[in-house]
Structure 1
C-alpha cells in the first residue's frame, strides 16, 4: 500500500513539473536547476530560451524574462545572449528592492534565483549585479517568523562567499522542509549535514505529503518535494541493505577481490608489491572493504573492562550491534590457538549486549591449510554469539612468507 502511494505521489509531483516544461518558463527552469539533472526524474527538458523566444518574447525590462535567460545561459554555457542578459540586469539594478511589495517579481524565488545566477555569470564584468541581488535576497531572508528559507540562503550563496544558513522549523510548510533537505545535498554543504535532523525532515515530508493535495504545488516546489521523497526512500532502502548479512557478503568475496592484489614480477623496472605479513595488514584490508559501506565502523573499539583486563575488538559496527574479529594464521597449528583466543575473548566481547550482540570471525590463512578450515569453522560457529566464521587463503601470486 505504501509503495503504491509513493509511486502515485511521485507521479503527481512529476506531472506538476512537466506542466511547466515550456521554453522560458521560470518555474520549469528553476525545477530543472533544483533537480540538477537527476537521472531518476527521467524527463526531456524543453525549457531553454532559444532564438525564436528571444525574438518574440524577451523583454529586458521584464525580470522574469531576464531570469529565464540567465537559467538558460547557465545550463547551456552558450554566451550568445550575454549582452542581452547584462542589459536586463542593468535595468533591474535601477529598481529599489525596498519598494517592491509582496506579489512583485522580486518576491518570486524563481525570478530572484535566476537573477542571482545571471549576476554570477556577469561577475567578471561587474560586481554591482551580485551586490544588488544580495541586498534583495537578504531583505527576503528577514521574515517575521525568524526562519530563513533554504532557497533564500541559496540566493545569498550565489552572490557571496559568506551565505546565510537555513534554519529548520518542523512546523513550516512541507516545501520549506523539503528545501532544507535539498540544501544539504549541495556539494558545499553535504559534509555539514545534520543527519538526525534530516531523517526527521524526510519522515515528516513523506507523512505530510501523504495527506496533501499534491496537484496544488508549483513546479519548483514539486521538484523539491519529489527529490525529498525519492531520497527518503533511497536512504531507507540503503539502511535496510546495511545489515550483518551485508558484512558477510562483502567478506565472503575477499578471495575473489584479491585477484587484483599487487605482487609484480622482477621483470618490471619498478615492481609494486603489497605484502601481508601480519594481522595488522588484514585489518587494514577489512577497513578498506567495510568503511565505504558503514559510516559508523569503529577501528579497535575499546570494550568495558572485564575483571582486571581491557579488551579491544578489531572492528565494531554499533548500528548493527556487530563486532568483527580478524585473525592471521601463519601455519596449520595456529588454528587451534585461534579457537582458544576467540573462546577466551567471547565473554568480554558480548558483556554489553545493548551495544554488541554478535561477532563475525574472519581468518586469513597464510599457510593455505584448507584441511583445518572446516573443523575451526564448525567449532567457532557452535559458540553462542558468533553469527559467522569466514576463512580465506592468501592469493596465489603472493609468495609464501611474503
Structure 2
C-alpha cells in the first residue's frame, strides 16, 4: 500500500509541475496552491511581473487573475492588482451575443477573489460586492458539477456567497492553503477522489490541488488507518515527542505519602528505544524491534524498529556531549542507510529519532538538514532533553 501511495504522490507531483504551455493564470493558480507546501514564489512572481505589462487592447482578464494570485502572497503586487481590478470593473459581462470569458472562468474568478481578500477593508468590501453580483449571474452548473464549477464555487465562498458545487479535494486543499473548514466527510471524500485519480483529465490545476489536499490529509488525519498511513504521518507523530514529554515523570518530591521520588531517566540509546516503543507499538501491529536484516558477508545488520507495512525502519540515536557529536551521528546514520537500504532489501525509508542529551537546540536545524540529505532518510526528529530533567550543559 505504501508503494501505491508513494506512486500516487509522485504522479501528482509530475502532473502539477509548471507547464509553460498552459495559460498564465492556470500556472499562477498551481504555483499559488503549492506555495505553502513548497515555499517558492519565484515562478508566480515572474508571472505577476509579466501580467503588469499589458495595457489597452492587449490587456486580458487572465492578467488580473495572475495579479490576484500574486497579490495574495506578496503585497508588492497589490497596486498592480488594484489597477487591473479597476479595469475589470469597468467592463461589461454576460453581454448577449458575446462569448462568455472571464465571467465563467473559474481559475480567473478565484484569482480575483483571492486578490480582493488582501485589499484594505473599504476597497475589499466594495470589490467583493461587485464580484458577488457577477457570480450571481452564473449559468446553472451541470449535475454533477465539473472542475470549473468547483473553482467558481470557491471564488463565491471567498466573497461570502455559498455554492454547493465545491469538490471535496478542492475544499480540503483550501483548508491547507487558507485555513478554511473541511469536514470529516470532505476529508473522506477527498481521500477517495485522490486515490482513484478522479479529475486527472483536469490537468495541472487539479493535480496541484490534489497534491496539497493529500499533504493536508496526511498531516491532519485524526486517526491512523492501517493501509492508508504514509511515512509522512509517522514523522508527524514522532515530531510530537518533545511536546509529549511535558508530563514525563520527573519529581522533586513524592507525589503521594506512600511513594518514593520518581524520575524516568533517559540515559542511553536503549532508553530512547523504550520511549519510541511506547509510542509506536499501540499504533503499528506489525512493528518489530531489533529487526535482523539481510546479511552483508559476515555482518548481519540489525535495525532498532521495522514497520514492514510501510517499508520503514526507525532508528534511535543518543547524542552526548562532544564537539564531534553532530558529525558523528550523521556518519552513523549514513552508514545505517547504506546498510539497511541495500539492494533487495524490503525497506525503502528510514526515520531517525535523536535524543540530544544537552539540548543544543541552536544546532538542530543544521543537523536536520544534514540528515535529510542522506538517501532514504524521510524524517529526522531531534528531541532535546527537557530543561526539567536537569542535565548541565557541556
Provide TM-score, normalisation by structure 1: 0.49
The structure number with the bigger radius of gyration is 1
